[in-house]
Amino acid sequence: MAEIHTLFNGRKTDGWQGVSDTDMSAAPYHLWHACADVPLDPSEAGKFAIQPGTGVLVNGAQGNTLNLATVASYGDCDLHIEFVVPKGSNSGVYFMGRYEIQILDSWQAHGLRFSTCGGVYARWIDETAVGGAPPRINASRPPGEWQEYDIRFRAPRFELDGTRSQRATFEQVVWNGELVHKNVELDGPTRASMAEDEVPRGPLMIQGDHGPVGFRNIHLTEL
């Protein structure tokens, strides 16, 4: 039977740790915390007016802190996650800490790219974007409105000698009820991943250093 994990209990960041690209000793000092709600700040459209309480995970008052990764590792999974961003903000959800589905204020954006909300983010090789995939459509809601992803992810497969036999794959990405990806294979970790190697299992990571973002109802089902 598939096992369902509620990754955020609405109150504390138990089961998560801060992740720095350069200094893992900083891991305990992230600013992620629980709050009741994150309405837009009426005086500054790019920020939240954070309401004290429980139920929502937010990345601090300034929206600039360490990424947050689960202590536990996962492979094949279904993920349901709800998120909200203010105007102009940016985040992402990384499967196995390596493969990103973009989160961005993309309300009314045209010319969809890998960097649009809902995109499979590109790899970064010699300071150049390589690969990635834009969403099929722009299903974005306005800044300040809650959105949701329902994602089925397949981890890479390996031979006994460690050679990769199958690529990691986003089998399906549904964004606000719209199918935006189907069977997108990844040739390697995307930009700003927590590691460059590929492994059978890894943590779920959410990005915390690119602007304010809130999350709730984070449920992962191991397949």
Sort 110 into a burial class: Cβ within 10 Å, 0-12 / 13-18 / 19+: exposed
**pLDDT value at position 77?**
98
Place of tokens 């990424």: 67
- 35: nearest Cα among 212, 202, 219: 212
Per-residue pLDDT of 151-203, as tens digits, reads: 999 999 999 999 999 999 999 999 999 999 999 999 999 999 999 999 999 99
In terms of pLDDT, which residue wins out, 21 or 54? 54
Does residue 27 have a pLDDT over 90? Answer: no
pTM summary value: 0.95
What is 3-222's CATH superfamily?
Exo-inulinase; domain 1 (2.60.120.560)
- Give whole-number Cα distances, 181 to 21, 23, 58, 173, 174, in Å: 28, 34, 27, 5, 7
- 213: nearest Cα among 31, 38, 51: 38
CA-to-CA distance for 79 and 82, rounded, in angstroms?
Answer: 10
With bands split at pLDDT 50, 70 and 90, how would you rate the model's confidence at 21? low
